[in-house]
């Protein structure tokens, strides 16, 4: 089984420098173009069986382009949503830092500011990965459209890392990660791929 794990395109919140999380912002014009290019590239390179997506607007809008190009119905699942950041969702970072200052060294099963706990966050990733693997044939290619923080949790689950792991996998707008599950192993084929976005990349950028 191949699993293509994809982050949504650029959202309005990215331009506003606010805590996004469960705040439900839409894609920007650039985010729509990124998602269109994503859909075209995936359709040209893969035969996909199913698309799972977070129902938050930025992910759902991104997944809609994949649905159009691949002619597949979207499977929305709330467990693919970004970290539930509670009371700081949608707040600018300066305001949030004053009203809801960072709290360190709290037990993994607890949370502050009406957020979900680290254990709850990781459990959602474990649950979704188990669900996807059990629901689909071994020879299928599956797409998962989600969010940067949750994709990192999916990585930890896929690699069977501990809940309190300090390993972080970054994902840019519409970045693609390709994983392969064999009976005897789990493999990362590539990570944070932007081949579909070459026309949008700054030619003067060092990366």
Query: Which of 52, 57, 58, 55 is closest to 70 using CA atoms?
Result: 52
What's the pLDDT score for residue 201? 66
Share of the chain above pLDDT 90, in %: 90
203 phi/psi in degrees, rounded to 5? -65, -20
CATH number 3.90.1170.50 is the correct assignment for the domain at 2-194: no
What's the pLDDT score for residue 147? 98
The residue-averaged pLDDT of 140-156 equals 98
User: Does the pLDDT of residue 206 top 70, yes or no?
Assistant: no
Give tens-digit pLDDT for 153-204. Answer: 999 999 999 999 999 999 999 999 999 999 889 999 999 999 998 877 654 4
pTM of the model as a whole: 0.92
Share of the chain above pLDDT 70, in %: 97
In order, the DSSP letters of the chain are: -EEEEEE---BHHHHHTB--TT--PPB-HHHHHHHHHHHHHHHHH----EEEE--SHHHHHHHHHHHHHHT--EEE-GGGSPP--GGGTT-BHHHHHHHS----S--TT--STTPPPHHHHHHHHHHHHHHHHHHS-TT-EEEEEE-HHHHHHHHHHHTT--TT--------TT-EEEEEE-SS-EEEEEEEE-GGGGGGS-TT---
User: Does the pLDDT of residue 82 top 90, yes or no?
Assistant: yes
Domain ranges in the chain are 2-194
**C-beta of residue 179 within 8 angstroms of C-beta of residue 189:** yes
The residue-averaged pLDDT of 13-35 equals 94
More confident position, 183 or 61: 61
Rounded CA separation 163/157 (Å):
9
Band the pLDDT of 52: cuts 50, 70, 90. Answer: very high
What's the pLDDT score for residue 202? 54
């Amino acid at each position: 089984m191949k699993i293509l794990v994809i982050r949504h395109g650029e959202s309005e919140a990215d331009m506003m420098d606010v805590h996004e999380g469960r705040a439900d912002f839409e894609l920007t014009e650039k985010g729509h173009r990124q998602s269109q290019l994503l859909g075209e590239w995936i359709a040209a390179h893969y035969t996909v069986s199913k698309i799972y997506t977070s129902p938050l607007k930025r992910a759902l809008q991104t997944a809609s382009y994949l649905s159009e190009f691949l002619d597949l119905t979207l499977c929305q699942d709330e467990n693919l949503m970004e970290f539930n950041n509670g009371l700081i969702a949608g707040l600018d970072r300066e305001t949030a830092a004053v009203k809801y200052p960072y709290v360190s060294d709290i037990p993994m099963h607890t949370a502050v500011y009406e957020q979900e706990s680290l254990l709850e966050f990781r459990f959602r990733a474990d649950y979704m990965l188990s669900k996807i693997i059990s629901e689909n044939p071994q020879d299928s290619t599956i797409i998962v459209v989600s969010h940067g923080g949750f994709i990192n949790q999916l990585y930890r689950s896929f690699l069977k890392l501990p809940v309190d792991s300090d390993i972080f996998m970054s994902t840019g707008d519409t970045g693609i990660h390709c994983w392969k599950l064999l009976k005897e192993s789990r493999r990362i084929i590539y990570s944070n791929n932007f081949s579909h976005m070459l026309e949008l990349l700054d030619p003067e950028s060092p990366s």
